Amino acid sequence: MDDSRGEILDKIRRSRGWLPEAKTLAAALASGAGNHGLTAVELAQRFALEARKIDAEVFEDPTPEAALERLLGLLKDEHVLAWDLDHVDRGVLASASASLEFGKSSDRSRTSLGLTGCDMAIAETGSLVLVAGPGQNREASLICRTHVALVRPSDVVTDLAEALARVDSLGERRAHINIVSGPSRTADIEMTLTRGVHGPKRLVILVADWPRLNKGDA
C-alpha cells in the first residue's frame, strides 16, 4: 500500500507541462450570486419562492402562534422523530403527535414524520443546510415520508457560497452536513419525475419568527 502511495506520487511529480494554461481571471470572480441589496425579509421571501419552485410546501405564517398551530396539525396522528429544538416546547409536541422520539428511531418502519430546524436556509436555491451533530440526528430528515423543517427568517443567507463560508466557521462541529433542495426525486425510469424514492416524499417548510425557548423545556 505504501508502495502504491510512493509510486503514484512519483509519477505525478514526474509529469509536467501538459495542462493548458488556465485563463487568468482579472479579479477573484465572486462564487456567489450576490445579495443585490435584499433585506432580511426579502431574503426570506425569496427563499420561500425558490423552495416552492423545487416542490417544497412552504408556509409563511404571520405569527409564531399561527405557525405552531399549523405544525401541530401536521403532527396529528404521526409518529415523530425530532431534533432537539428550541423552537417549540417538547411537551406541546408530545401531546400533539402519536409518538415522539429524539435521536435514533427505535422503529424506522413506524416513524412517519421527521421534524427538524435548520442551521441555514439558502435564498438563491430554496435549500436547507442541516448540520448533523448532538441533538440534530441525520435520520429525521431522511427516513420518513414527510420532513417538516422549521425556519426563522434570520436563518436565511443569500447563496450557496455564503452558506459554505459559514460552514467553514463551524470548525470542529463539522462532521456531516446536508444541503437539502426539495424532496427526494428520481427520473431514472423514462425521465418520469417521481418523488420520494429513498428520502422524504414531502418536504414541508414552516417559515416564522419561532421563539427561542430553552431546549428540552417541559
Partner 1 sequence: MSAQDTFVQRADEALADHDLGRSIRHVTGLLDQRRREASASVPDFEALKDRARSAKLGMLADLEGNLLRFEEKIKANGGHVHWAKDAEDANRIILGILEKSGAKKVVKSKSMATEEIELNHALEAAGVTPVETDLGEYVAQLKGDKPSHIILPIIHMTRQAVADTFNEKIGTHASPDVAQLVEIARKVLRKEFETADAGITGANFGVVDSGALCIVSNEGNARFVTSLPRLHIAVMGIEKLVADLDDLSVFLRVLARSATGQRLTVYSNLIWPGREANDQSGPREAHVVLLDNGRSDLLNSKAAEILACIRCGACLNICPIYKAVGGHAYGGTYPGPMGSILSPALGAKKGSELAGASTLCGACKDACPVKIDIPRMLQYYRTGEKFGKREGLVKGLSFYLFGLLASRPRVFGAFGRLLRTIAPTGNGWIKVGPWLPFGWTRHRTLKLPAKKTFIAQWKEKAGHG
Please give the residues from 112 up to 141 whose contact with partner 1 meets the rule CB under 8 A: 124-125, 127, 132-134, 137-139
Q: Does 77 bind partner 1 (CB under 8 A)?
A: no
Q: Which is nearer to partner 1, 40 or 197 (CB)?
A: 197
- Return all residues near 201 (Cβ < 8 A) that are at least 6 apart: 145, 146, 183, 184, 195
Q: Taking the complex as a whole, how short is the minimal distance between the CB of residue 41 and partner 1, in angstroms?
A: 22
Q: Is 107 in the site for partner 1 (CB under 8 A)?
A: no
Closest to 132 in 3D by CA, of 144, 149, 118 = 118
Taking the least distance from each CB to partner 1, the nearer of 85 and 96 is 85
Closest CA to 181 of 127, 139, 145: 127
Question: Segment near partner 1 (CB under 8 A), from 71-79, 93-101, 149-157, 160-168?
Answer: 160-168
| CA distance linking residue 198 with residue 60, whole number of Å | 27
* Strand pairing class (194-195; 185-186): antiparallel
Q: By CB under 8 A, is residue 106 in contact with partner 1? A: no
Contacts to partner 1 from residues 177-216, by CB under 8 A: 177-192, 194, 196-200
Task: Report 12-71 residues binding partner 1 (CB under 8 A).
Answer: 12-16, 18-25, 29, 31-33, 50, 54
Report d(CA 59, CA 158) in Å as an integer. Answer: 19
Give the span between the Cα atoms of 3 and 13, in whole angstroms: 15
Q: Which of 40, 63, 69, 174 binds partner 1 (CB under 8 A)?
A: 174
Rounded to the nearest whole angstrom, what is the least distance from the CB of residue 34 to partner 1 in the complex? 9
Beta bridge partners of 116: 149
